[in-house]
Amino acid sequence: MDDLKYIVSKNIICLRTNNKMTQLELGEAISYSDKAVSKWERGEAVPDAYVLKKLSALFNVSVDYLLDKHDEHEFKAVKPHRFDRRIISLISFIGTWTLAIIIFAILLFLGWTQWLVLIYALPVSLIVMVTLTSAWSKRKTRVYFISLLVWSVIAAIYLTFIHKNWWLLFVIGFPAQIIILLSFKIRIIPKK
């Protein structure tokens, strides 16, 4: 069993470092703490089958690969399938705005000037960004986009009903912002 702990720990370390990830980033990618990752890398425990499956999917290797001994040069060949997440995010963001501009142009052509289409495009594009960052970004980035989303929804509602003097809506934003910040302080504690 000690050999297996050593082999798995070495494999996790090599895969993580070759992919330029910190223990915290790896932990967040598989929904575990950096302390759990550290424990596996020190050989104090072997991850359970569920974690091994998540690691194999993340690093694009088989579970057997994680459990087998490898030479140092073999790790260089194993790289996960990567795609440029920033480009995908940018394409999604620009696509949302392009669609909003097309809708605005069609409405303008029909004789309706609907500036609200462009105002609502911001929260919609931020929903897209929150979805994408939830899948692959760090906590800090998610906090920024969720905060922007909340404030943009409040601004869109205010601008929709500006003639009703709904400026107090912005007061709601402050407790909402505090809730967002506090909710991202919550950590997932893995079962032992």
What are the tens digits of pLDDT across the range 36-81? 999 999 988 889 999 999 898 888 888 888 888 877 666 555 555 5
Rounded (10°) CA dihedral 104, 119, 147, 169? -150
Identify the DSSP state of 164.
Answer: G
How much is the pTM? Answer: 0.56
What is the C-alpha to C-alpha distance for residues 161 and 29, in angstroms, rounded to an integer?
A: 41
pLDDT of residue 101: 94
Homologous superfamily in CATH for domain 2-77: lambda repressor-like DNA-binding domains (1.10.260.40)
Where the chain has pLDDT below 50, the residues are none
What is the C-alpha to C-alpha distance for residues 163 and 157, in angstroms, rounded to an integer?
A: 11
What is the C-alpha to C-alpha distance for residues 191 and 173, in angstroms, rounded to an integer?
A: 35
Helix (H, G, I), strand (E, B) or coil at 133: helix
Place of tokens 């669609």: 99
pLDDT of residue 79: 53
Place of tokens 């001994």: 69
- DSSP tally for the chain: helices H, then strands E: 10, 0
Identify the DSSP state of 190.
Answer: P
* Both structure tokens of 139: 């906590």
Rounded to the nearest 5°, which phi and psi values hold at 55? -65, -40
pLDDT of residue 82: 55
Rounded (10°) CA dihedral 46, 3, 26, 65? -100
Q: Residue 96: how many CB atoms within 10 A of its CB?
A: 18
Q: Please choose, from the candidates 50, 63, 57, 13, the residue with its C-alpha nearest in 3D space to the C-alpha of residue 191.
A: 50
